[in-house]
Structures are given as structure tokens and as C-alpha cells.
Amino acid sequence: MARKKTSQHEEPAENHERWLVSYADFITLLFAFFVVMYAISSVNEGKYRVLSHSLVSAFKSSSGASHLTSAPSSEFSPVQLTDSTLADSIKPVDDPNSPKMRKQEKMRGMAKSILEALEPLVKDGQVRVTQSTLGITVEISASVLFSPGQANLAENSSLALKAVAQVIKGHEHEIHVEGHTDNIPIHTDNFPSNWELSSARASSVIRLFVEHGVEASRLTAIGYGANKPIETNETPEGRKRNRRVAVMILANDPDKVTELPINVERD
């Protein structure tokens, strides 16, 4: 019998291990899925940033394995999340030793000291102390400080202001003293309108502060007249509430203004 002739060009044998590449991609995606699920179970901004960066790096390194080749599995470099990496990326939101937190604590202590010094007047509703992001506001009823239509401090009113002065004189915050009136017009030789009356009352309070150790450079007198009411002026109680002096202790230092030269070109 004649021998069967063999072909000189035999087809190469089919590679049956190509499925391992797809399987490795699937395992990598599955691993990334479980890592994400674990991270979501305990939300942490610093860990999330590190995890996101690590996953992006991992997928970039494995992008070349998406082709059907017999690349070895050593191309998949493992992702490691160490404690030192997390510590470098995590920044505390509210550090009790930060300058911001120390200033807030300082303002809180100042407000508490003012409340304690003016406790009898606070209980009687003659003084109101509030604190906000802008600072501390001490509202004192005008009936405690002045006679009707006058800007000279009454003799018994200096005790409350002296107590405030003792608290604020040891600090560096800027202080605004605001004078407010009701909407009933005033026409006297000293005060032609409520503008002059409110400004004069604020100036009287500032003068007492300066006499008791508060630096004059920190003080500003402002007269609003009847333009900043906090209650209605339709009732006697509302008008009494509007007649007040507000001492505002600002939380932030005033912005420093940088003077720039202006060049005027002449024709």
C-alpha cells in the first residue's frame, strides 16, 4: 500500500490555556468589587482616596492583559494598603490644638465670663448675650444705661459696662459698639434726630471702656438710629426692646488692606 503523504506545512496546535487570561481578569475585577464593598462598610475620606488611587493604578497596570495572549500572571502586581499610607492621607477635620479651634474655645470662654458677670441683668431680661460665627454680641437695654432722651451714662449703669470691660480688655479682638433707638423722632438742641442720639450713646460706652483699660484702637462707635429694629415699634414693649446698645466682639481679625500705588497717565 502507498504511504499517505504528510503535509509539509502542519497547522500549529491550538492553545487551550487562553481562557486563563480572561479568568485572571475576572478574578481581578471580583477582588476589586469586594475591596470596594469593604471600604463602603466603613466610610473614611482618607481611606477612600487611597483606595481610589490604588484601584486606578491596578487597572492601568492590568489593561495590557485584556488581549488574548499567554502573558504570565506575574504582570498583575498586588495592591498594598499600609497604615503609613493611610496616616499620611488622613487629616483630622477638627484638631483641638489647631489655631481655629483654640480661637473658638477662647471666644466661648469669653462669652461665658460675660454671662457670669451680667447674670442678674440676664435673668431680668435686660441683657442678652449671644454667640455666632461672627463673634459675641452683648445687647444691653438702653433703660439700664441711659435716661430717656439722654446719652450720659446713668450712675448705676457703669457697673454692667465695667464688668464687660474687665472681660474684654485682656483680649485683642476688634469691638463694635452700636447704638439703637426706637422710631419715635427726637428734636432737641443736643440731638436733632435719632442718628445723633444713637451715635452719642455708643460713644459714651466706648469712652467708659477706654477709661477701664480697653485699647481705643480696638473700638468703633456706630449709630444706627431706628434703622435696625429687632422688634415691632407698634407696641411699647417692642419700642423698649429696640432701644438698646449692642457690644459686638468680632471673632476674626479685620482684613488688612494693602495700599497699591495708582499711576495716572497724563496726556
pLDDT score recorded for residue 129: 92
- Comparing 162 with 17, the larger pLDDT belongs to 162
Instruction: Provide the 8-state DSSP code for 184.
Output: S
Q: How distant, in Å, are the alpha carbons of 121, 129, 233 from that of 107? A: 21, 12, 33
Cβ atoms of 205 and 141 within 8 Å: the answer is no
pLDDT of residue 38: 73
Distance CA 178, CA 149 (A): 17
Distance between CA atoms of 137 and 106, rounded to whole angstroms?
A: 15
Output the CA angle 96-102-106, nearest 5 degrees.
135
- Does position 262 have pLDDT exceeding 60, yes or no? no
Q: Could you tell me the fold of the domain covering 99-250?
A: 60s Ribosomal Protein L30; Chain: A; (3.30.1330)
Cell numbers found for residue 189: 438742641
* pLDDT, mean over the chain: 77
Q: How far is CA 130 from CA 110, 208, 266, in A?
A: 11, 22, 54
Spacing of C-alpha 176 from chain mean position? 21
Mean pLDDT, rounded, for 186-213: 94
Contact 226, 183 (CB under 8 A): yes
Lowest mean pLDDT across 122-126, 157-161, 232-236:
157-161
Residue 61: per-residue pLDDT: 55
pLDDT at 242: 95
What is the pLDDT, as a whole number, of residue 72? 45
Q: State the helix-helix crossing angle for 19-41 and 45-62, rounded to 10 degrees.
A: 170
Question: What's the average model confidence in pLDDT over 41-48?
Answer: 58
Single pTM value for the model: 0.59
- 260 pLDDT band, cuts 50/70/90, is very low
142-158 pLDDT, tens digit each: 999 999 999 999 877 78
**pLDDT surpassing 80 at residue 109:** yes
- Those residues with Cβ within 8 angstroms of residue 209's Cβ, 6 or more apart along the chain or in another chain: 161, 164, 165, 168, 169, 175, 177, 219
Give Rg (Cα) of the chain.
37
Average pLDDT over residues 87-96: 50
pLDDT digits (tens, 9 = 90+) for 49-85: 666 666 666 655 545 444 433 344 444 344 444 444 4
User: In angstroms, rounded to a whole number, what is the distance separating the alpha carbons of residues 193 and 220?
Assistant: 21
Domain borders along the chain are 19-89, 99-250
Residue 237 pLDDT more than 90? Answer: yes
What is the average pLDDT across 95-124? 83
Handedness of CA 163, 169, 171, 172 (dihedral sign): positive
Q: Compute the average pLDDT of residues 96-101.
A: 69
Band (96; pLDDT cuts 50, 70, 90): low
- pLDDT recorded at residue 65: 44
Q: Which one, of 171, 167, 166, 141, lies nearest residue 154 by Cα?
A: 141
Q: Are 244 and 180 in contact (CB under 8 A)?
A: yes
Residue in the block written with cell 485683642: 172
Confidence of residue 26 (pLDDT cuts 50, 70, 90): confident
